[in-house]
Structure 1
Amino acid sequence: MKKLFTALPPLLVICLLSLGTPAFAAKWTDYSLVAHALGGIDQKAYTNSYEAFETNYEKGQRIFEIDLQFTSDGYLIGRHDWSAYAFQSLGQALTPAITGGPLPLADMKTMKMFDKYNALEFSEIIDLMHEYPDAYFVTDTKSTDKDMITAQFSQIVELANEDPYMLERIIPQIYNESMYPVIEKVFPFESYIYTLYQTTDSNQKVLQFVKNHKKITAVTMPEWRATAGFVGSLKKINKLAFVHTINSPEEMAKYKARGVYGFYTDFVTPEDLKVYYAKKAQETAAKSAKASSAKTAKKA
Structure 2
Amino acid sequence: MAPNSVDNGLAELESLYIPPVPLNRPGAGGSESLAYTAYRAQIYRRRGYWIQSFGQIDLESNDRPIYFHHSGHIPYFEQRGYGIALIQGRTIDAFLAGIPAGALVLVAVKDDGSQRLSGEASSRLADMGIAQLDRSKLRQSYLWAARKLEGAGYEVLHEACSAEELRWRIDDGARQIELVSGGALSSNRSKIEIDGVEFSRNRRGWNVVVCPPDGACISTSFDVFATLAEEGSLYRAAPQRLATSAFRAIYHAGGQLNGIKNSNALEVFEQSYSIGGFRTFTADIELTADEEVVLRHDWQPGFALFGFLARYPDAYVIANINSADRRRLKMMFDKLISAAAPFGFSLLLRVIPQLQSIEMHRIVESIFPFPRYVYILDATPNTIEAETAFVRENKIAFVAVRSDQYTEETGARIREAGARVLVHGVNDMKLLRDLAGSVHGISTDSLAAGDIHAEIAGREAAQQARRAALSRFVQIRFGVDTAGCRWLESPNQEDWAELEERIYRAESADEIRSLLKSLK
Q: TM-score, normalised by structure 1?
A: 0.69
Counterpart amino acid of residue 57 in structure 1 = Y
| 1:133 CA drift (Å) | 1.2
The structure with more radius of gyration: 2
| 1:277 CA drift (Å) | 6.1
Q: Distance in 1 between matches of 2:350 and 2:383?
A: 30
Match of 2:450 in 1: 271
Q: 1:123 to 1:280 in 2, by over 3 A?
A: closer
1:125-184 deviation digits (Å, cap 9, x = unpaired): 111111111111111112143211210110111111294421100111111111111111
Residue 174 (structure 1) aligned with residue 391 (structure 2): no
1:93-108 maps to which residues of 2 (within 5 A)?
Answer: none
| 1:237 CA drift (Å) | 2.7
Matched residue count: 231
Q: In 2, are the aligned partners of 1:40 and 1:52 still within 8 Å (CA)?
A: yes
Match of 1:184 in 2: 365
From 320, 330, 350, the equivalent of 1:150 is 330
Q: 1:165 to 1:279 in 2, by over 3 A?
A: closer
1:182-230 deviation digits (Å, cap 9, x = unpaired): 111111111111013421112111111101111x100011123211001
Counterpart amino acid of residue 246 in structure 2 = D
Structure 2 stretches lacking a partner, 5+ long:
1-26, 30-51, 65-242, 461-520
Residue 49 (structure 1) aligned with residue 265 (structure 2): yes
**Relative to structure 2, which stretch is displaced further, 147-156 or 268-277?**
268-277
Q: Distance in 1 between matches of 2:459 and 2:399?
A: 28
Counterpart amino acid of residue 169 in structure 1 = R
Q: Does 1 or 2 have the higher relative contact order (CA < 8 Å, sep 6+)?
A: 1
Match of 1:232 in 2: 412
Q: Distance in 2 between matches of 1:21 and 1:267?
A: 33
From 362, 384, 393, the equivalent of 1:203 is 384
Q: In 2, are the aligned partners of 1:66 and 1:137 still within 8 Å (CA)?
A: yes
Counterpart amino acid of residue 220 in structure 1 = A
**Relative to structure 2, which stretch is displaced further, 122-131 or 57-66?**
122-131
Q: 1:248 to 1:234 in 2, by over 3 A?
A: same
| 1:270 CA drift (Å) | 2.6
Higher strand share: 2
Q: Distance in 2 between matches of 1:167 and 1:124?
A: 14
Q: In 2, are the aligned partners of 1:242 and 1:262 still within 8 Å (CA)?
A: yes
1:274-293 maps to which residues of 2 (within 5 A)?
Answer: 274-276=453-455
Counterpart amino acid of residue 30 in structure 1 = A
SS in 2 for 1:47: coil
Residue 134 (structure 1) aligned with residue 311 (structure 2): no
| 1:60 CA drift (Å) | 1.3
Q: Distance in 2 between matches of 1:234 and 1:10?
A: 37
Match of 1:78 in 2: 295
| 1:245 CA drift (Å) | 1.3
SS in 2 for 1:178: helix
Q: Distance in 1 between matches of 2:378 and 2:300?
A: 24
Counterpart amino acid of residue 288 in structure 2 = T
Q: Distance in 1 between matches of 2:54 and 2:267?
A: 26
Q: In 2, are the aligned partners of 1:31 and 1:63 still within 8 Å (CA)?
A: no
Match of 1:39 in 2: 255
Aligned identity (percent) is 23
Q: TM-score, normalised by structure 2?
A: 0.41
Q: In 1, are the aligned partners of 2:28 and 2:341 still within 8 Å (CA)?
A: no
SS in 1 for 2:387: helix
Counterpart amino acid of residue 36 in structure 1 = H
Structure 1 stretches lacking a partner, 5+ long:
1-8, 80-107, 109-117, 282-300
Q: In 1, are the aligned partners of 2:248 and 2:442 still within 8 Å (CA)?
A: yes
Q: Distance in 2 between matches of 1:223 and 1:196?
A: 12
Q: Distance in 2 between matches of 1:222 and 1:76?
A: 27
Q: 1:255 to 1:69 in 2, by over 3 A?
A: same
Higher helix share: 1
